[in-house]
Amino acid sequence: MALVWRYRGTDADQRPMRGVIAAASRDLAWGRLAAGGVKPARVRLDPVLTLARALAAGPDARDLERLYRSLGQRLAHATPTPRALAGCETVLRDELLRESVRLMHRHVQGGAPLRVAMAAAGLPARDGVLVRAAEAAGDLPAALLHLADAVRSRRSLQASLARVLWIPLATAAFMYVFLFFTVMFAAPRPLAFFARAGARLPPYAVDYFEFAGAAAGSPAIAWGVFLALPAILLIASRSSAWRSLVDRLPVWREQATRADLAAQWAGFARLLRARVPPAEAAAM
């Protein structure tokens, strides 16, 4: 999982710089900053942004669409790529995505192609393949606008799936909270009553009331488990195992396959229009 690091340093002109960067380790974050032309003085872990990044599973989809659309429109008006990237940074709200644009800007200013800058900034690899094909074909603005439309389609599909799952998830959340408060506050009372009355309970009831009594006797542990379990489930829902489970849904799999094939064939067509040999285009 990529961690989020806050850094402070200077650029090549000794101007102070602050921001955030996603990397698997502190050393990797340091190296990515150095490769982007930043001389870091301090790099520290930001646990809040790291958790938010884990829950979001990638950059904000709205901002990613806004980036591709704004960049494509600026390049279509013959704006130089470094200047276009500098302008795109102002329309983004996602702090990590803004930092990715800054890294892209520094790489492009150093003479790197946009596809290389995107890979260095950690943008989706599939998007970089399409940009690579568009650069070879000479229609980069249209490719970026196509990427913006693809991001919007994926976001719409995710929103539709969320609307379908909203009622079951809300019901599960209500039952989770209800059962927790029942165990913590309601169950200990009948246990004391049964003990005074000398009632003999079946073994499963005895186990339940003993569990409730232990939870009520250790509120710090009980509340910790109660709050940690949903966070663990949310993080697990962003994992590759969950994505493979969602891919088994016919509607989701069909739409995702269509999006992947559209991006693949669009890139292949752009390479062929640029007179790249078919075998080389297929390898790319």
Amino acid 251: pLDDT: 66
Amino acid 192: pLDDT: 66
pTM to 2 decimal places: 0.61
Residues sharing a CB contact under 8 Å with residue 248, sequence separation 6 or more, in sequence order: none
Torsion of CA 32, 241, 263, 258, to 10 degrees: -170
Amino acid 19: pLDDT: 78
Amino acid 252: pLDDT: 67
Amino acid 57: pLDDT: 59
Amino acid 114: pLDDT: 87
Q: How many CA atoms lie within 13 A of 85 on its CB side?
A: 20
- Rounded Cα distance between 81 and 77, Å, is 11
Amino acid 38: pLDDT: 79
Amino acid 62: pLDDT: 86
Low-confidence ranges of the chain (pLDDT < 50): none
Amino acid 4: pLDDT: 79
